[in-house]
Amino acid sequence: MSRRTVRDDPNRPFVGDSTPPQLEDHRPRYRPRTFAALEFRPFRWYMGAMIWWNAAMSMQLLVRGYLAYQLTDSFTSLGIVSLGVGIPMLMLAPLGGVIADRTSRRTVTQIGQSISVGIAITVAVLLFAHQLEFWHLVISSIAHGTMVALVMPSRQAFLPDVVGTPRLMNAIPLQTAGMNVMQILAPVLGGFMIDWIGPAWVYTSIVGMTAMSVLMLFFVKSLSPEELDLIYLSAPTNARDPDCAPSPRTSGFARESTALGDLSGGFAYLLRDRTILSILSFSFIVSALGMPIRLLLPGYVGAVFSDEGSTLGLLQTGMGIGALLGALGLASLRVRRRRGLLLAGSSVLLGVALIGFSLTSIIWLAWLGLLIVGFASTGRTTMSQLLIQEYVEEDYRGRVTSIFMIQASMMTLGAFVVSIYMESVGPEFAIGSVGALLILATIMYLILVPSLRRVA
C-alpha cells in the first residue's frame, strides 16, 4: 500500500493536460548534482538561516562544556549539563511534533530561535558580571532543551515544504554539509575567542548569529501543492518513488481531533510501520553509544591533552571536517538501494573511529580519529533522516520527526552515563569500550531486525 497520495498515471500533469500557465516558465527541474538544490532560491535562504543557527549551536556546545568543566573540574558536570538539554527533549519532543503538524512550521522555528537569543543574552550578562555559577548553566541548558524539543520537529519537517520530496536526497546532505562547515569554523573561532577575549564575548556572538537566522527565515516560503507536484513530475523516473509522491497537508485548524489524539495517532502510526520503527530504534541505539563524545569532548581534552580552549577548538574542527566530507559525499550519491546497510556501515565505522581515538595521546592522531568520527556520524545521521523523510506520510511528518529528534535525548542520557563511567575507569578506556559496544550492538541489530537490512 502506498504511503502517499499517488496519481493513477504519474506521467499525467497535475492540472488538466498541460503545465499550469502561471508555473509554465518556472517548472522546477531535478538535477542530480552535488549542489543542485542550491539552484533553488528558497533553499538558499533556508540554508543561510540554518548555517547561522548551527554556527550558534556549535559554538554554544563548546563554550558551555568548557565552562562546566572549568567551574567544577568534573566529567559528571558535563553529563549533568547534557541531561539538562536531554530530559526536556525526551519528554516534550512528541508535543513539538504535534505543533509541527498543526501550525506554521516556519513561525514556530522563528519563535523558538528568538527564545534562544534571550537565553544566550542572560548567560552573557552573568559572565560579564562575573556572577556565573554552575547551576546557571544547568538552568540555561534546561531552557534550551525545552526550546529545542518544541521547535526542532518544525524545523526538520519544514525542509520538504521548501524543496519537495524528490530533492531531499540532495538537499538533506547539503543542509548537513552547511551545518558541518559551522562545526569546523565555529569551534575554532569559539576556542580562540575563549583564550583571547573570554567566554562572555563568545555568548555575545551566539546572540548575533541566532538573531541573523531568525531574520533570514522571513525569506523562506513553503511551496504550493501545485509546485510540489511539478517537482515530483520533473524528477527522473529512477528518482520518482511513488511512496514519495506529494499529498496535501491537512490543516490542523480544520481538524476536529485534539492535540492528545494527534499525539496518540502518531505513536500508533509509528508502531504499525516497521520500516520507520526500525530506522528510529536503530538511531536511538547509535545516538546513546556513539554520539556522547560530542558532549564529553571538553572534559576529555582537558584530562588527556590540555584545558586550553584553542586545543579543544582545533580537535573539534577535525570532527567538523570529517562531517563535511561525509555530507558532501552523500550529496553526490545516487544510491537508492541497500541504504539500510549503508546506515549500519556508518555506525560500525563510528565505533572503529572511537576506539582509534581513545588509543592515542598524540594530538594530530586524535585529530584524525575525530575526523573519521565526524565522517561516520554524519553518514549515520543524514541517512537516517533522509530515509524517514522519504518514507513518512505527510500528515505524520512532524510527529515522526519529533520522535526522531528524541535521539538527541539519547545522546545526552548516554553522555551522562558515560561521564560517570569516565570518572571510574578513565576517559580513554571509557570511550574505547563504548566504541566496541557500538560495533557489537550494530551487528546484533542487523541480525535480529531484518527490516533494517531490507530498507531500500
- Quick one: which of 433, 399, 397, 393 has its CA closest to 2? 393
Residue 25 within any structural domain of the chain? no
Res 213: pLDDT = 92
Q: Is 329 exposed, middle or buried (0-12, 13-18, 19+ CB in 10 A)?
A: middle
Q: How far is CA 432 from CA 350, 356, 373, in A?
A: 11, 7, 12
Using CA atoms, how far residue 283 sits from 96, 368, 431, 455, in Å, is 19, 24, 19, 14
Residues above pLDDT 90, as percent of the chain: 18
Q: Is residue 444 part of a domain?
A: yes
Looking at the domain assignment, is residue 257 inside a domain? no
Q: CB–CB of 123/140 below 8 Å?
A: yes
pLDDT of residue 223: 66
| Banded pLDDT at 226 (limits 50, 70, 90) | low
pLDDT interval class at 207 (50, 70, 90): very high
Residues ≥6 apart with Cβ < 8 Å to 254: none
In which band, very low, low, confident or very high, does the pLDDT at 372 lie, cut at 50, 70 and 90? Answer: very high
- Radius of gyration (Cα) for the chain, nearest Å? 22
Is 127 within 8 Å of 199 (Cβ atoms)? Answer: yes
The pTM for the full model equals 0.62
CA distance 106 to 390: 20
Residue 224 per-residue DSSP state: P
Q: Which residue has the higher pLDDT, 342 or 224?
A: 342
Question: Range with the lowest mean pLDDT among 58-72, 182-196, 202-216, 366-380?
Answer: 182-196
Q: How many domains is the chain partitioned into structurally?
A: 1
pLDDT digits over 271-284, tens only? 788 888 888 888 88
Reply yes or no on whether the pLDDT at 17 is more than 60. no
In a domain, 7, yes or no: no
Quick one: average pLDDT of 120-131? 93
| Mean pLDDT comparison of 154-158, 224-228, 231-235, 369-373, highest-scoring range | 369-373
CA distance 167 to 403: 23
pLDDT of amino acid 143: 92
For the four alpha carbons of 387, 389, 394 and 396, in that order, the dihedral sign comes to positive
d(CA 228, CA 394): 12
Contacts of 8 (CB under 8 A, 6+ apart): none
CATH of the domain at 366: 1.20.1250.20
Dihedral pair phi/psi, residue 222, rounded to 5°: -80, 145
432 lies in which domain range?
35-224+262-453
Long-range CB pairs of 199-202, under 8 A, 24+ apart, other chains included: 199/63, 199/66, 199/67, 199/127, 200/124, 200/127, 200/128, 202/59, 202/63
pLDDT at 20: 40
In the structure grid, which three cell numbers stand for residue 292, read together?
A: 556522547
> E-assigned strands of 240-343?
none
The pLDDT of residue 441 is 92
Residue 2 has pLDDT above 60, yes or no: no
CA distances from 183 to 14, 61, 88, 309 (A): 41, 10, 24, 15
Helices (H), 197-221: 199-216
Residue 244 lies inside a defined structural domain of this protein = no
At 362, the pLDDT band (50, 70, 90 cuts) reads confident
What letter represents residue 93's amino acid? Answer: A
